[in-house]
């Protein structure tokens, strides 16, 4: 069975947590596409060559969840040649047998426009900054993280190639006032409905 779940949204909205949970619930493979860009950004050197030579070892390196890695990912993701180098891998993963969940910023709009399920997970910048600040555990202030979140939102939404935005047929899930459990359950209900429709 081919069944693709595309989950997009800005940093720290909860899309990764939701994606991992629904992949376990439904037995789908999961790909955090942001890790691809974080790994490219942290490799250093020419980002296009880094994207073309990306290996599983690069995806397993330490520090890919750090604030620095997130900033590096946002910068290299704005480069069309980097995005092009990673598109084929993502599309092949999405159509694997048994179903797949991919989370990122352009999955439902560019990578998998024909996905059976599209979710756009969002939350206020303040809420997302607080989550990222608590998660990172780094020596920085909440105000600095909030400024980074806002700057990254502008960069991700404003890039010329594959800007971050909700697909026209995506369901928006605002997690600002939701608990983790509530957000996961809302996503599960929607995916279960789509699966049932397919029989």
Known binding residues are 9-17
> Between the CA of residue 154 and those of 75, 84, 94, 147, 176, what are the distances in Å?
12, 21, 27, 11, 19
Taking the C-alpha atoms of residue 18 and residue 70, their distance in angstroms, rounded to an integer, is 19
CB 118 within 8 A of CB 76: no
The binding site for ATP consists of: 9-17
Residues 6 or more apart in contact with residue 2 via CB below 8 angstroms? 95, 96, 97, 99
Taking the C-alpha atoms of residue 164 and residue 122, their distance in angstroms, rounded to an integer, is 11
């Amino acid at each position: 069975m081919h069944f693709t779940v595309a989950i997009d949204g800005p940093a720290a909205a909860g899309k990764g947590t939701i994606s991992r949970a629904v992949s376990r619930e439904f037995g789908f493979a999961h790909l955090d596409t942001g890790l691809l860009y974080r790994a490219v950004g942290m490799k250093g050197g020419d980002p296009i060559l880094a994207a073309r030579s990306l290996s599983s070892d690069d995806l397993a390196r330490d520090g890919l969840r750090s604030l620095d890695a997130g900033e590096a990912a946002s910068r290299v993701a704005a480069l069309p040649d980097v995005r092009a180098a990673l598109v084929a891998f993502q599309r092949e993963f999405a159509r694997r047998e048994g179903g797949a969940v991919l989370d990122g910023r352009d999955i439902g709009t560019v990578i998998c426009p024909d996905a059976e399920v599209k979710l756009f997970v969002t939350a206020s910048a303040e809420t997302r900054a607080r989550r990222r600040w608590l998660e990172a555990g780094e020596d920085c202030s909440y105000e600095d993280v909030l400024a980074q979140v806002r700057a990254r939102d502008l960069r991700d939404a404003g890039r010329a190639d594959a800007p971050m935005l909700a697909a026209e047929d995506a369901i928006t899930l605002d997690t600002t006032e939701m608990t983790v459990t509530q957000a996961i359950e809302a996503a599960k209900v929607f995916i279960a409905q789509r699966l049932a429709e397919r029989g």
